[in-house]
Chain A
């Protein structure tokens, strides 16, 4: 087969400094060989790897993503970050499934700094798998645009996922099997279906700026005496505005399972207050 016709996947690995990076180094020292198309990024702990990083990489055309950490209980850090990585990874797999991406494109492994050969074996095995799966979207039967739209929509929900799954994402259980059952497909589907949107009721908003000042994503278009509007593209659905809006106004509403009404036109935003 000529090298041109052969599919060369785009693959990234995000690996922890203390163990997996050491394993990759030892793999080199020992001259174990693996395909050239894998690029590695170093972080201090596999628990630093964010689901955003993974989804973002797929959005930008990665065909396979590898995450590597220390073996369970060997984490360099007190908080044992590899448990966090394990939970995040299992969650991400379900997200990928939801999007329609083969979850095999994401792989997490523990590699100690002494396991050069194991690192090579994993790289070889994983890249073979990805080569067989082909370019992202092909085996999934998704065209690029559809895939990107879906991924973008999921990425927008990441802050919401982190909030509602806060406990599960921080679970530490020495039994790795527990993590496999932590998230179910139904769970994820429901979670996504129930993702709330927030909307400011123009009739109730008193343009007090409270919500806008508190919004962590700077997603509220606001100025004095002008009805506030939530920029749905920027909104991370954290609900801070919902909590912040003074109860006597109760202007922020939470919408689940229904479309958000369109923002009111700019020329109707000015609030005319009674004077005197």
Chain B
């Protein structure tokens, strides 16, 4: 141990000495999709220097190509792109785009990675993203961002929100192909075009690596029968995603390629390239296609309410959180049909280019139907060059070409020190990609904990000058944005106008105010001209406000003295044909900003101290894994379990579908937890009280150890879930009827009755997917397959029937489903309205059996099975303690009673209440490997908080003028953050705001009758002054005058 410590110190010393010549980092993340982005942000924030490599010209990955995300139909780009900016600005993230990894040498803790940067032919440091070159470029080629449906130029920005927001030149460039043109070079005002660029090789030293190369949509051309590429109105779901999107090839119009007309009768075909054991296809289930199809159906109906949508499907696999309701929503839309049938695409009408599909009806007849457009719900496949990729890293792939992982730790690759996240693990949706990223981040943290904070940088700002007593001295900067603003708005005129406005002491124009150079000039102006308010009239504050606020901080004045006029998105771009009117509007917008600037106040962001201790609630696999990962990174953890021993539900599990010995795994995990010096375990424990907020909680624990009060900065909720106790199918009345957990126990105990049973019948969806519990319990199908295979293993002659509604063996579990079918397990589908019946009876050979009657839809008649054992796939239901725990930690429960994460896609292990994290089946039913990944994810997220000494909260919060408060209580209920308290004072009840809990929405402000409560930075005064200056042209209204009523 000591020797290891000395070695590490040596290494660290060496690293720190060499770090001056660059190329030294802690972690390298390869793959810039949403998973890589999350990992980079988590690790950067947790004190590691991150190299972030992406092979395409921008980060964003597949998520950036999607129109919306299920099941909330959030705009995909809108929720993802703020993360791009966050990465770009992060002091600890070094982003290298348009680059690939060629070779990884060394070992964990000390890797040397060779990265090849492809030539962009554009100097990233000079290009401002003004896109003048794009306008002039004569070469058009199919736009990869729009699936090649529309064209783009040879020089272009990959998409509007790209980071870095610079152009690159594609190989369709005339100069690169034929050596002529170079128009771009001549129009670029910044001399950013550089055709002399060649591939650049960079060696980078890091301690750990995360690979997150993601997936590619299955290439539908590989299966000729689908006629993709042949029939022009057959598109893939990825094509369709772009068609739906407002930034897509037809600006959000769904058009057919053949005649550019709206299709009104569209068919989707499921499982294209998935669940198929044929040449070119993949045998696994791609997990996401059922639900993305439903999303596309819903969005199609949004576009065209009269559209007819037909989905040809196999099993509908709505196994994720809220997916079942989403499925029902799609199914219940008028004009939408879900048809369970295999199909074939028969022909194309030579004139109308409509497509004919042949399918079988539930009644068994074969029918042919005509559609305007056919969408192939293509599956997810490993990246095309996955073999080369794996070789570069020296990691192994599994039989499907995805990453091979350690069965005991689903986030470890076969090479120590290289971790994996995202869909390279197995086909998965966005939230899983996000939490596996946080999880891999946590594993890197465990490995490199000793060097945390050594290479990372913290921004240091000069002390702030107090200008609150000074007269406003406003500086106005109007940006040309290349030609984006300047070509429409007469910028010099607006500058002259700004100079006439009250308290404006300086105004000037700039070609690119966002350039590093201009920022330095701005900072100099603030100091030398004594500016105390700065207005930039340029683009949108949503992307650029943080940049300029930062500049104000650099220049030593409060960042809330910054104000922005959006004269690009809200002016020059939307009024491009009315130059004069646009110039007038720009002046108005500047006047409004000047008026507002008069009222701006310096606001302090809060630096809340962070207590470095964590509390983990729940001692199952999730809780223990999380606790260990946090403790391994040097933080004290209090692990609270309500039972008398650790283990949770896993205590009743013996093996997994993949063959993991659960009891062995569990006892090893328990040993690690018990022997860890930083983990304190409380059994038979209860939490009577929790108070506080992010970084500063106080939790009372009553346990075997007595009563203890713990101060902690973070909490992880991992309280698990319960199994539904069935009251149907004679459960509890006949001991031959049991749940799968009970069956598993008996199998592992070699229970005679079970082992020697002639016939076992398994019934799925017991207590799930019904009115009372309108969700799928996700794991039961896999459990049934697991137990069926185990029974076949011990007794190959056993007859096993699985009565199911939809088999939901998603991902690679599909292979086990197939194996079970191959081994003679029989699958019989039933409908919710026609459930199987169970009654005691006698078989033909005189056995006392349980008679199971069901309708066989394939045979079209009733069948009767003689069961010796019946196993029920009982629902997973929320833990009894959920309500209580949710109230104590002020976190929400979803409609089904499981804990509700902060954002279903992008914050899957966070809560809206900061400092509290979530993992395991308390979130939603999930299998052990998924729980382990999510537990590491929760630990990773907790570390982004715990590894910092302080946490920053926005200064734009509400405040109460007590004199004006009449104690009516309108404000407090409006705040579900519980940030407002009503206190009894000598002058009656008065509201007061706990600033650290306030999130700055201002709902209370608009409820307050007297205006006593005000949201800082958006006060009534500020808004009134903008309204007035917006309505009156007189410059005097720019003095910020208001009439307070």
Contact = CB atoms under 8 A, between A and B. Distances in A.
B968 A48 contact: no
Contacts of B1023: 14, 41, 43, 50, 53
Contact of A116 (B246, B585, B969): B246
B75 A238 contact: no
B78 A113 contact: yes
A29 B131 CA distance: 12
B267 interface: no
Interface string B152-165: 00000000100000
Residue from A12, A114, A163 with most neighbouring chain B CB atoms (10 Å): A114
B1003 A24 contact: no
Contacts of A17: 542
A47 B1002 contact: yes
Interface in A86-128: 88, 112-117, 120
Contact of A60 (B67, B976, B1008, B1031): B1031
Instruction: Choose among B76, B581, B588, B1026 the residue with the greatest number of A CB atoms under 10 Å from its CB.
Output: B1026
A156 B1045 contact: yes
B592 A41 contact: yes
Given A49-B1006, A114-B67, A36 B246 contact: no
B1002 A53 contact: no
Contact of B1002 (A43, A78, A156): A43
Contacts of B592: 39, 41
Interface string B873-891: 0000000000000000000
B578 A36 contact: yes
Contacts of A76: 1001
A156 B589 CA distance: 29
Given A41-B1026, A78-B912, A216-B966, A117 B246 contact: yes
A61 B1033 CA distance: 12
Given A41-B592, A114-B68, A78 B1031 contact: no
Interface string B122-157: 000000000000000000000000000000000000
Interface string B563-578: 0001011110111111
B569 A48 contact: no
A48 B1003 contact: yes
Nearest to A36: B581
B956 interface: yes
B575 A36 contact: yes
Contacts of A41: 592, 1023, 1026-1027, 1030
Contacts of B247: 26, 29-30
A79 B275 CA distance: 43
B999 interface: yes
Contacts of B1031: 10, 12, 57, 60-62
Contact of A162 (B245, B1003, B1009, B1015): B1009
B252 A25 contact: no
A238 B987 CA distance: 15
A236 B1009 contact: yes
Contacts of B662: none
B75 A117 contact: no
A159 B968 CA distance: 11
Nearest to A238: B966
A240 interface: yes
A39 B1005 contact: no
B584 interface: yes
Contacts of B68: 114
Question: Which residue of A22, A216, A217, A236 has the most chain B CB atoms within 10 A of its CB atom?
Answer: A216
Interface string B914-957: 00000000000000000000000000000000000000000010
Given A24-B569, A28-B573, A36-B575, A81 B1001 contact: yes
A88 B133 CA distance: 48
A217 B1002 contact: no
Contact of A45 (B969, B973, B1003, B1027): B1003
With a 10 A CB-CB cut-off, give which of B75, B252, B576, B912 has the most chain A CB atoms: B75
Contacts of B1045: 52, 56, 152, 155-156, 158
A1 interface: no
Most buried by B among A152, A156, A169: A169
B815 interface: no
B interface, size bucket = 35 or more
Given A60-B1031, A216-B963, A236-B1010, A37 B585 contact: yes
B965 A47 contact: no
Interface in B229-276: 245-247, 251-252
Given A36-B584, A114-B246, A48 B577 contact: no
Contacts of A7: none
B221 interface: no
A43 to B, nearest CB: 6
Interface in B34-81: 67-68, 72, 74-78
Contact of A48 (B574, B578, B1012, B1015): B1015
A189 B1005 CA distance: 26
A179 interface: no
A166 interface: yes
A34 B574 CA distance: 6
A251 interface: no
Interface in B1000-1033: 1000-1003, 1005-1010, 1012, 1015, 1018, 1020, 1023-1024, 1026-1028, 1030-1032
B647 to A, nearest CB: 34
Contacts of B1018: 43-44, 48
A77 B575 CA distance: 32
A24 B975 contact: no
Nearest to B591: A39
A120 B577 CA distance: 15
B1006 A44 contact: no
Nearest to A49: B1006
A214 B245 CA distance: 56
A183 interface: no
Contacts of B999: 77-78
A43 B589 CA distance: 15
Contacts of A24: 569-570
A213 B68 CA distance: 55
A84 to B, nearest CB: 5
A112 B77 CA distance: 11
B577 A33 contact: yes
Contacts of A77: 999, 1001, 1003
B630 to A, nearest CB: 26
B1006 A50 contact: yes
B140 to A, nearest CB: 18
Contact of B574 (A14, A27, A236): A27
B1006 A88 contact: yes
B326 interface: no
B1006 A39 contact: no
Contacts of A117: 246, 251-252
Interface in B532-577: 540-542, 566, 568-571, 573-577
Nearest to A47: B1003
B1001 to A, nearest CB: 4
A31 B487 CA distance: 14
A170 interface: yes
B574 A31 contact: yes
11 contacts: A25-B566, A36-B571, A44-B1002, A50-B1006, A56-B1024, A57-B1031, A60-B1028, A61-B1032, A113-B75, A160-B1009, A238-B1010
Interface of B: 67-68, 72, 74-78, 160, 245-247, 251-252, 540-542, 566, 568-571, 573-578, 581-582, 584-585, 588-589, 592, 892, 912, 956, 963-966, 968-970, 973-977, 987-988, 999-1003, 1005-1010, 1012, 1015, 1018, 1020, 1023-1024, 1026-1028, 1030-1032, 1043, 1045
Given A49-B1006, A79-B975, 17 more contacts: A12-B1031, A21-B542, A36-B571, A39-B1030, A57-B1027, A74-B74, A77-B1001, A79-B976, A79-B1003, A155-B1045, A159-B1009, A160-B1009, A162-B1007, A166-B969, A166-B970, A216-B1012, A238-B1009
